[in-house]
């Protein structure tokens, strides 16, 4: 029975991948409705196993959150409530978290034989923002599925994430901040820093200079960069400006002044290092949104 269900789902996914749909708004809606996360096949297996064994062992996000919530640095029991900026917003989502390059992964964890991805980091950021009473949305619709369906190359990922951005703002008008989480492809030495005995995956902001209003985006990034330098010296690798042949040059930053692309670590960073940095990013966003930095 289990095998039949799994195979049925896998064949359904493969069938969807083979359909050559040219996207307009209606077909995008259908694709979003019918497509699941990057690990859709694994998720259905997890769901079946959970139903039979009542365990979340195969759920990597649950395992990671459970593991690190036991750390004193992440345990909020018996602590004073954190300051928040969203109480006047009736808890409507203010932040849209997405990953233009959803398939970017970090080093394998020793506890589970999987790679922690930037999408997992987005889920963790969502959880950390909740501690400040800031609600957010994580985009889970697959960018790769849309690329494959339309025979678009990897460089078209920003075209797809733009579609999702437009849809998110249309369906959730309360959104004001748009965070595109990535990870870089650099050595562990470059992507890691130790601050007060704690290791972090280093951050880097990316600024597209081919956005005609890039100066406004630059102001935001400079505020965030200054805050990081003042509070966590060495955590940030700076603001990387990009333009010219062979690069996107805009990175959807014309969508909003608060459209922020953050590189979090590199492919060799561990789950713990990435998680430590995500905590800092949540704190930074809370203070920025509260105009206290």
Express each pLDDT in 158-183 by its tens digit: 999 999 999 999 999 999 999 999 99
Residues 6+ apart with CB under 8 A from 83: 132, 286, 290
Q: SS3 of 192, please?
A: strand
Residues in the chain: 293
Residues 6+ apart with CB under 8 A from 140: 36, 37, 119
Question: How far is it, in rounded angstroms, from Cα 177 to Cα 93?
Answer: 10
pLDDT in tens, 125-146: 999 999 999 999 999 999 999 9
Best CA proximity match to 232, nearest among 268, 207, 196: 196
Q: Which H or E run contains 262?
A: strand 259-266
Q: What integer is the mean pLDDT of 89-118?
A: 83
User: Model confidence at 112, in pLDDT bands (50, 70, 90)?
Assistant: low
Question: How far is it, in rounded angstroms, from Cα 249 to Cα 243?
Answer: 4
Question: How far is it, in rounded angstroms, from Cα 243 to Cα 264?
Answer: 21
pLDDT at position 36 is 41
pLDDT at position 77 is 36
Question: How far is it, in rounded angstroms, from Cα 181 to Cα 175?
Answer: 17
End-to-end CA distance of the chain: 56
Q: Report residue 192 as tokens.
A: 């890691």
Q: Report residue 282 as tokens.
A: 């949540």
Q: Quick count: other Cβ atoms within 10 Å of Cβ 68?
A: 19
Which has the minimum average pLDDT: 21-30, 49-58, 212-221, 276-285? 49-58
State CA 248 to chain mean position distance: 19
The residues facing 193 across adjacent strands are 200
- The backbone region for 153, taken as left when phi is positive above 0, alpha when psi lies in -120 to 50, beta otherwise, is beta
Residues 6+ apart with CB under 8 A from 291: none
Q: Which residue has the tokens 């987005």?
A: 122
Contact present, 167 and 206 (Cβ < 8 Å) = no
Question: How far is it, in rounded angstroms, from Cα 190 to Cα 140?
Answer: 29
HSE-CB of 11 using CA atoms within 13 angstroms: 6
Which has the minimum average pLDDT: 6-10, 63-67, 155-159, 230-234? 63-67
User: Model confidence at 12, in pLDDT bands (50, 70, 90)?
Assistant: very low
The answer, yes or no, to whether residue 43 has pLDDT greater than 70, is: no
User: Model confidence at 80, in pLDDT bands (50, 70, 90)?
Assistant: very low
pLDDT at position 7 is 42
The answer, yes or no, to whether residue 4 has pLDDT greater than 60, is: no
Question: How far is it, in rounded angstroms, from Cα 77 to Cα 84?
Answer: 17
> What is the overall mean pLDDT for the chain?
78
Q: SS3 of 264, please?
A: strand
Contact present, 60 and 42 (Cβ < 8 Å) = no
């Amino acid at each position: 029975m289990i095998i039949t269900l799994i195979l049925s789902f896998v064949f359904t996914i493969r069938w969807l991948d083979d359909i050559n749909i040219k996207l307009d708004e209606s077909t995008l809606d259908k694709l979003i409705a019918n497509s699941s996360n990057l690990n859709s096949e694994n998720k259905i297996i997890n769901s079946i196993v959970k139903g039979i064994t009542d365990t979340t062992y195969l759920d990597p996000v649950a395992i990671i959150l459970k593991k690190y919530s036991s750390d004193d640095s992440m345990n909020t029991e018996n602590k004073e409530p954190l300051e928040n900026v969203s109480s006047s917003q009736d808890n409507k989502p203010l932040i849209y978290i997405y990953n233009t390059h959803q398939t970017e992964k970090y080093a394998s964890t020793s506890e589970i034989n999987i790679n922690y991805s930037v999408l997992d980091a987005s889920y963790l950021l969502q959880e950390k923002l909740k501690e400040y009473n800031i609600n957010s949305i994580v985009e889970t619709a697959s960018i790769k599925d849309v690329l494959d369906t339309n025979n678009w190359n990897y460089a078209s990922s920003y075209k797809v994430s733009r579609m999702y951005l437009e849809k998110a703002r249309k369906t959730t008008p309360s959104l004001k901040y748009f965070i595109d989480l990535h990870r870089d492809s650099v050595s562990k030495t470059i992507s890691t820093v130790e601050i007060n005995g704690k290791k972090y995956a280093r951050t880097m902001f990316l600024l597209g200079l081919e956005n005609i209003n890039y100066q406004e985006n630059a102001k935001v990034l400079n505020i965030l960069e200054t805050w990081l330098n003042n509070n966590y010296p060495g955590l940030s690798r700076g603001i990387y400006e990009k333009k010219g042949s062979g690069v996107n040059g805009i990175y959807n930053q014309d969508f909003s002044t608060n459209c922020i692309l953050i590189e979090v670590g590199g492919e060799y960073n561990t789950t713990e290092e990435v998680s430590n940095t995500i905590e800092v990013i949540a704190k930074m966003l809370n203070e920025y949104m509260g105009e206290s930095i």
